[in-house]
Homo-oligomer: A and B are copies of this chain.
Amino acid sequence: MDPKKLRTLLERLQGGGVSVDDALTELADLPYKDLGFANVDHHRHLRSGFPEVVLGAGKTREQVAAIVLELSKTGANVLATRVDAAQAAHVIAAVPAARYDELARAIVVEQQPIIETGRGTGLVISAGTSDLPVAEEAALTARLGGSHVERLWDVGVAGIHRLLDRRALLEQAEVIVVAAGMEGALPSVVKGLVSRPVIAVPTSVGYGASFGGLAALLGMLNACASGVVVVNIDNGFGAGYAAALMNRRREAKT
């Protein structure tokens, strides 16, 4: 079934082939997408400037390769997250244009030029080196979503001067993503230094009473600095996606 059905119905009404009452009845029976709502979804990714996305975790090598192959046939950019080295090898064998970002544990198939849609810079900060995979996943996603991205690695709160040294970088950012595990304290400190939105990503880095990132998550939700917003544990993709949205020029919207 397709939207043509709606046009046909209206033409029949115009042409006298159907009464108003019968048209009303038929209209009530038309599927939702025929009524024009479907375009919310149709070609959404292409128009949105975001790539097609695949979550690698929990899939076999063959499944990841097959899905990336299929999506890349549409001509869209493709991002596969949480892809390990073995999965990556399979994907590259199937899709030669695919490139593996080892740090971000992500596959990127960049077939479309990335149109810069941001009003400014998306800055991605990591507290420790163990938080880098999550932070880099955020940075990669924001870039694919059209943002200019800067990175600031390894500036955890136990050595606060390392962060203070980079005031200029902090102040010029349009939106900031902060990835931190353990006690998750960095977003509060960062937000206290800037007047732009801060997106906090708790990571599962830690042990014992970190409970797989729960400590960092709770810390960030209770951030004492106003204007900190939070995403799920290890959700670098979600943070980068939100950062790109917040940074996007209105006219860039699709």
Q: Which residues of A contact B (CB under 8 A)?
A: 6-7, 10-11, 13-14, 16, 20, 23-24, 27-29, 31-33, 35-38, 40-41, 48, 50, 53, 57-58, 119-120, 127-128, 130, 156-162, 164-168, 174-175, 181-185, 188-189, 191-193, 195-197, 199, 202, 204, 206-235, 237-238, 241-242, 245-246, 250, 253-254
Contacts and interface: CB of A to CB of B under 8 A. Distances in A.
A10 B7 contact: no
Contact of A157 (B157, B164, B250): B157
A151 to B, nearest CB: 17
B219 A208 contact: no
Contact of A218 (B35, B189, B209, B238): B209
13 contacts: A6-B27, A10-B23, A14-B20, A28-B35, A31-B166, A33-B162, A58-B130, A183-B218, A208-B232, A215-B222, A226-B241, A227-B242, A229-B229
A120 to B, nearest CB: 7
Contacts of A204: 208
B32 A10 contact: no
Contacts of A185: 157, 183-185, 188-189, 219, 224
A162 B193 CA distance: 12
A98 B24 CA distance: 41
A232 B227 contact: no
A134 B239 CA distance: 24
Contacts of A35: 27-28, 35
